[in-house]
Structure 1
Amino acid sequence: MDLPRAAAVAARLDIVAQSPSTNAQLRASADGAPHLTVLLTDHQTAGRGRLDRTWVTPPGSALAISVLLRDLPADPESRGWIPLVAGLAMADAVAAQLPGREVGVKWPNDVLVDGRKICGILAEATADAVIVGSGVNTAMTAAQLPVETATSFAALGATADTDRLVADYVSALNGWIATLGTGKDAERVHAAVTARCLTIGRRVRVELPAEGELRGVATRLDEDGRLVVDADGAEHPISAGDVVHVRAI
Structure 2
Amino acid sequence: MSPELRTALDVAALRSNVAAPWQRIDVVAETGSTNADLLARAAAGADIAGTVLLTEFQSSGRGRHGRSWSAAPRSQIAMSVGVGTQGVPTDAWGWLPLLTGVAVVDALAVACPAVPAGLKWPNDVLVGTGKLAGILAEVAAPSPQIVVGLGLNVSLTSQEAPDPRATSLTQHGADVDRTELACGILNALGTRIGAWRAAGGADEALVRDYRAHSLTLGTEVRATLPGDRAVVGTATDIDRFGRLLIDDGTTTVTVAAGDITHLRPADTA
TM-based fold match above 0.5: yes
Q: Match for residue 14 of structure 1?
A: 26
Q: Match for residue 228 of structure 1?
A: 245
Q: CA deviation at 1:6?
A: 2.4
Listed as ranges, the gaps of 5+ residues in structure 2 are: 1-8
In the aligned structure 2, how far is the partner of 1:173 from the partner of 1:99?
18
For the aligned residue pairs, the C-alpha RMSD in angstroms reads 2.0
Calculate the TM-score normalised by the size of structure 2: 0.86
> Which of 83, 87, 93 matches 1:69?
83
Alpha-carbon displacement from aligned partner over 1:116-175 (angstroms, at most 9, x marks no partner) = 111000001112211100011112112112233210122223223112211111111121
Alpha-carbon displacement from aligned partner over 1:42-90 (angstroms, at most 9, x marks no partner) = 2000001111111222222222110111255522222111110011111
1:209 counterpart letter in structure 2: P
Calculate the TM-score normalised by the size of structure 1: 0.92
- Conserved in 2, the CA contact under 8 Å of 1:72 and 1:177? no
> Which of 205, 208, 227 matches 1:191?
208
In the aligned structure 2, how far is the partner of 1:77 from the partner of 1:120?
22
Listed as ranges, the gaps of 5+ residues in structure 1 are: none
- Conserved in 2, the CA contact under 8 Å of 1:123 and 1:131? yes
Q: Match for residue 166 of structure 2?
A: 150
Alpha-carbon displacement from aligned partner over 1:86-128 (angstroms, at most 9, x marks no partner) = 1111122223222223211100000112331110000011122
Answer yes or no: is 1:80 the counterpart of 2:94: yes
Q: Which residues in structure 2 correspond to 1:1-249 (within 5 Å)?
A: 1-8=9-16, 9=18, 10-30=22-42, 31-33=45-47, 35-70=49-84, 72-126=86-140, 127-180=143-196, 182=199, 186-210=203-227, 212-249=229-266
Please state whether the residue corresponding to 2:114 is helix, strand or coil: coil
- Conserved in 2, the CA contact under 8 Å of 1:36 and 1:174? no
Cα separation, partners in 2 of 1:183 and 1:68, compared to 1, 3 Å: closer
Please state whether the residue corresponding to 2:98 is helix, strand or coil: helix
How many residues of Structure 1 are paired with residues of Structure 2 in the alignment?
A: 249
- Range moving further from structure 2, 40-49 or 190-199: 190-199
In the aligned structure 1, how far is the partner of 2:85 from the partner of 2:194?
7
1:26 counterpart letter in structure 2: L
2:244 counterpart letter in structure 1: L
- Conserved in 2, the CA contact under 8 Å of 1:43 and 1:60? yes
- Conserved in 1, the CA contact under 8 Å of 2:88 and 2:200? no
